[in-house]
Amino acid sequence: MLFLFNMVRRHIIPQFYLKQFASKAKRSKTYKIKAYNKEKGKEIYPSLKNIGLEKYFYDKYDPPIFEIVLSFLEYYASRVYHKILKNKSVEILTDKERTIFSHFIFTQYTRTKAARELFNQVHTLIYEDLIRTKDFPKKEEFAGGFSSFLEDRAYLGQLKIMFDPNNDTNKLMRIPTKSSQHIFSLNWELLINNNEFEFYTSDHPVFLYEPESDGKTIKGYGIYAFQTPKVEMYFPLSPRLCLAMVGKESVKFSSGSDNNIEFEELEWINRQIIAEAYRFIFSKNNTFDYVKRILDLCPELKKIDRNRIYV
């Protein structure tokens, strides 16, 4: 295996995944993807190498240790991913393959800009509590500025959730390992879309739904929400396939069988993808008319810094 790294630009969505939602350009033979910027209300058509990435997102200094770890995970996860696509089944996965993909799903859920924004908001709440209850520096007293302080806290918080870099070796990888085990234990069902309309995906492609958190546009967003017995996780794998992972007490889907989904269920999943996206929604063949309609109904979803915490 040979891994080559751009020392500045870090992909937050694997290219092997987005390739399923992309099309090969006839002249250049490179892959390009239809993307809708919901913040600016603009459609673009970039190449895969120029979308789903951020500067110095995981590693601020070289060598890019976290990027190397993610690349190893993506290498093995891509094999499992393509096996699912080829066979249109998750029942054929070995326990080892399911373990690899469980860890990949958790990492993909926590590695995005949407997740970074969540950690930013968490630390804002922590700071506001500290300044009320303890002798903590005021915003204007932070060297380098309060926004830089929050950015650093969010950066470190995200890496800790993804990798749990703890000095105590007995605790190393505790969070991602336990989280992956929870995902592994959910009931996995592959939803097959034979409707004319396809699955969208986004720059935050894995989303959670907690049926008991009614009244919220985004339901169940949180690192440990998938541990609840009725939780539902969704991950569109291609325009025609979506992996659903549901808790033991969920009434969705019948365990052990793949499912052809109705148009209403497809629309519901696409609405959640639109809502959870940080900035970009992607599609292979759909227009973005439905995206625009949802954003017109819920204009707050256009904001990249919208509230992602429910307490």
184-212 per-position pLDDT tens digit: 999 999 999 999 999 999 999 999 887 76
The SS3 call for residue 177 is helix
Cα 108 to the center of its chain, rounded Å: 5
As a whole-number percent, the residues of the chain with pLDDT over 90 amount to 42
pLDDT digits (tens, 9 = 90+) for 58-102: 656 665 666 666 778 888 999 999 999 999 999 999 999 999 999
207-209 vs 232-236, strand pairing mode = antiparallel
pTM, 2 dp: 0.82
Task: Determine the average pLDDT of the residues in 140-154.
Answer: 71
Does 3 score more than 60 pLDDT?
no
Do 237 and 243 touch, CB atoms closer than 8 A? yes
Q: Which residues contact 162 (CB under 8 A, 6 or more apart)?
A: 66, 107, 110, 111, 176
* Higher per-residue pLDDT: 46 or 236: 236
Q: What is the pLDDT of residue 164?
A: 63
Q: Which of 36-50, 148-162, 268-282, 287-301 has the lowest mean pLDDT?
A: 148-162
Q: What is the pLDDT of residue 200?
A: 98
When pLDDT is cut at 50, 70 and 90, the band that residue 173 belongs to is very low
Torsion sign, CA atoms 162, 307, 286, 270: positive
- The C-alpha atoms of residue 193 and residue 294 are separated, in whole angstroms, by 21
Q: Tell me the residue ranges of DSSP E strands in 201-286.
A: 201-202, 207-209, 232-236, 241-246, 259-260, 280-283
When pLDDT is cut at 50, 70 and 90, the band that residue 147 belongs to is confident
Q: What is the pLDDT of residue 122?
A: 72
The structure tokens listed for 160 are: 């800790």
Helix or strand run (H / E) with residue 89: none
Q: What is the pLDDT of residue 206?
A: 94
Q: What is the pLDDT of residue 32?
A: 92
* Segments making up each domain of the chain, as ranges: 13-111+174-302
Does 4 score more than 50 pLDDT?
no
Does 293 score more than 90 pLDDT?
yes
Task: Determine the average pLDDT of the residues in 93-116.
Answer: 90
Does 16 score more than 90 pLDDT?
yes
Name the region of 262 (left: φ>0; alpha: ψ -120 to 50; beta: rest): beta
Mean pLDDT of the chain: 80
Q: Tell me the residue ranges of DSSP E strands in 141-269.
A: 187-192, 201-202, 207-209, 232-236, 241-246, 259-260
Does 276 score more than 50 pLDDT?
yes
Cα 221 to the center of its chain, rounded Å: 11
Taking every pair of C-alpha atoms in the chain, what is the biggest distance, in angstroms? 63
Task: Determine the average pLDDT of the residues in 108-119.
Answer: 83
Does 174 score more than 70 pLDDT?
no
Helices 95-110 and 65-87 meet at what angle, rounded to 10? 120
Q: 10 Å Cβ neighbour count for 151?
A: 16
- The C-alpha atoms of residue 190 and residue 238 are separated, in whole angstroms, by 11
Does 118 score more than 90 pLDDT?
no
Q: What is the pLDDT of residue 25?
A: 79
Q: Which residue has the tokens 């069988």?
A: 257
As a whole-number percent, the residues of the chain with pLDDT over 70 amount to 70
Q: What is the pLDDT of residue 170?
A: 45
* Higher per-residue pLDDT: 209 or 126: 209
Q: What is the pLDDT of residue 158?
A: 67
Does 257 score more than 60 pLDDT?
no
